[in-house]
């Protein structure tokens, strides 16, 4: 195992725990937060998101000053090491501000070709999902391994949706899923639902449009647990653009991809 990566993997898990604790402190005092509108009434942000990202950026800059950092709230800082951290300080902000427990801190590291580390911390459940390329995935230290047992029919499928997607697409996806005998769930955090795929709690997850900070940690987890993911750019301009996100266990991937294609969710 690459020593550089092993160091960063330990660091990422500690950082996710520290950032999660700070976010949880804000969550417990959320009635005092001023919620600001970002992209619309369904797309909000608060000081909690900004402070957690600031903490993460400060820790990364101190430990690995040559690494790049892309965070949802503060953008891209180019690095020189070939590694870029891709961070969502709070994924599931709407859930967070409305008092739901389904939010997480999502931290990925890319080597400028693919995610090589993925850590998702869900503070309200005291759960840490962690994966390193070639090293497998774990949930609170217990290895995660997907087999083909879960299908769209016998499992639940996570479907994400935001105001950036034409509502008819989401409707078509849900009706297509139900027509083949499946059913859907949406927790409010896409990153958490990707972690659920890695843990075998969901057969698969699809959202027509998300960003790198929403999905790269989850993608690393799913791939290391033995699942499959639709490619998402992990370098250059692509890192900043939105695109479809789809991941599933081996028993559901093809069927979910077909469904997404027939629901025209991948075509624009
Ligand atoms: C959002 C959540 C949500 C998904 C949106 C994301 P945010 O991230 O993951 O579940 O449907 O597309 O933007 O804004 O809470 O970090
Ligand atoms: Ca997010
Ligand atoms: Ca966020």
Distance of alpha carbon 232 from alpha carbon 216, whole angstroms:
8
Instruction: With CA atoms as reference, report the closest residue to 188 among 52, 65, 62, 44.
Output: 44
Rounded average pLDDT over 196-224 = 97
Neighbours of ion ligand 3 (CB under 5 A): 72, 88
Higher-scoring residue by pLDDT: 159, 165: 159
More confident site: 183 or 37 = 183
Residue 224 has pLDDT above 60, yes or no: yes
Query: What per-residue confidence (pLDDT) applies to 41?
Result: 77
Residue 212 has pLDDT above 80, yes or no: yes
Atom of ligand 1 at shortest range from CA of 192: 9
Q: Are 158 and 182 within 8 A, CB to CB?
A: no
52 burial type by CB count under 10 A (0-12 exposed, 13-18 middle, 19+ buried): buried
Q: Which ligand is nearest to the CA of 158?
A: 1
Confidence category of residue 94, pLDDT binned at 50, 70, 90: very high
Q: What is the CATH number of domain 156-262?
A: 3.40.190.80
Q: Tell me what the pLDDT averaged over the chain comes to.
A: 93
Of 97 and 263, the structure prediction assigns the larger pLDDT to 97
Residue 1 has pLDDT above 70, yes or no: no
In this structure, the residues whose C-beta lies within 6 A of any atom of ligand 1 are 72, 88, 91-94, 160-162, 188-191, 207, 210, 214
Q: How far, in Å, from the CA of 185 to the mean position of ligand 2?
A: 17
H-type helices in the chain, by residue range? 3-28, 47-63, 93-97, 167-179, 190-198, 212-225, 253-262
For the ranges 52-66, 82-96, 158-172, the lowest mean pLDDT is seen at 158-172
pLDDT in tens, 240-265: 999 999 999 999 999 999 999 987 64
* Cα 247 from chain centroid (whole Å): 11
Q: Where in the chain is the domain with CATH 3.40.190.80?
A: 156-262
155 vs 3, residue with greater confidence: 155
* CA within 13 Å, CB half, 41: 0
Task: State the pLDDT at residue 85.
Answer: 97
Query: Above 60 in pLDDT, residue 96?
Result: yes
d(CA 101, CA 193): 13
pLDDT tens, position by position, 102-127: 999 999 999 978 999 999 999 999 99
Among 19, 189, 205, 241, the mutation site with the greatest number of ligand 1 atoms within 8 A of its Cβ is 189
How far away, in angstroms, is 211 Cα from ligand 3 center?
A: 10
What is 3-143's CATH topology?
Answer: Fructose-1,6-Bisphosphatase; Chain A, domain 1 (3.30.540)
Q: What is the pLDDT of residues 42-78, one digit of tens each?
A: 777 789 999 999 999 999 999 999 999 999 999 999 9
Which atom of ligand 1 is least distant from the CA of 93? 15
Closest residue by Cα to residue 239 from 257, 204, 215: 215
How far apart are the C-alpha atoms of 108 and 106, rounded to whole Å? Answer: 7
pTM above 0.85, yes or no: yes
pLDDT of residue 98: 92
State the residue for tokens 């800082």: 77
| Dihedral sign (CA 69, 138, 50, 72) | positive
Confidence of residue 267 (pLDDT cuts 50, 70, 90): very low
Check pLDDT > 70 for residue 30: yes
Segments of the chain assigned to CATH 3.30.540.10: 3-143
Q: What is the best residue among 71, 190, 192 to mutate for testing ligand 1's pocket, by most ligand atoms within 8 Å of CB?
A: 190
């Amino acid at each position: 195992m690459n020593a550089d990566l092993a160091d960063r993997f330990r660091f990422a898990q500690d950082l996710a725990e520290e950032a999660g604790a700070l976010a949880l402190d804000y969550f417990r005092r959320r009635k005092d937060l001023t919620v600001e509108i970002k992209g619309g009434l369904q797309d909000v942000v608060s000081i909690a998101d900004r402070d957690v990202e600031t903490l993460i950026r400060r820790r990364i800059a101190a430990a690995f000053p040559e690494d790049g950092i892309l965070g949802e709230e503060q953008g891209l800082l180019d690095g020189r090491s070939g590694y870029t951290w891709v961070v969502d300080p709070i994924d599931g902000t709407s859930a967070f501000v409305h008092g739901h427990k389904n939010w997480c801190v999502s931290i990925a590291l890319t080597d400028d070709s693919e995610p090589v580390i993925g850590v998702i911390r869900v503070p309200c459940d005291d759960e840490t999902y962690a994966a390193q390329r070639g090293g497998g995935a774990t949930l609170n230290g217990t290895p995660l391994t997907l087999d083909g047992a879960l299908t769209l029919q016998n499992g639940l499928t996570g479907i994400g949706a935001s105001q950036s997607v034409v509502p008819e697409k989401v409707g078509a996806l849900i009706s297509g899923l139900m027509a083949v005998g499946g059913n859907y769930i949406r927790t409010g955090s896409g990153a958490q639902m990707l972690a659920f795929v890695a843990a075998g709690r969901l057969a698969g997850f699809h959202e027509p449009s998300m960003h790198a900070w929403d999905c790269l940690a989850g993608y690393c987890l799913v791939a290391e647990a033995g699942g499959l993911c639709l490619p998402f750019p992990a370098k250059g301009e692509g890192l900043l653009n939105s695109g479809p996100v789809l991941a599933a266990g081996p028993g559901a991937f093809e069927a979910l991809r077909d469904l997404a294609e027939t629901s025209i969710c991948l075509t624009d």
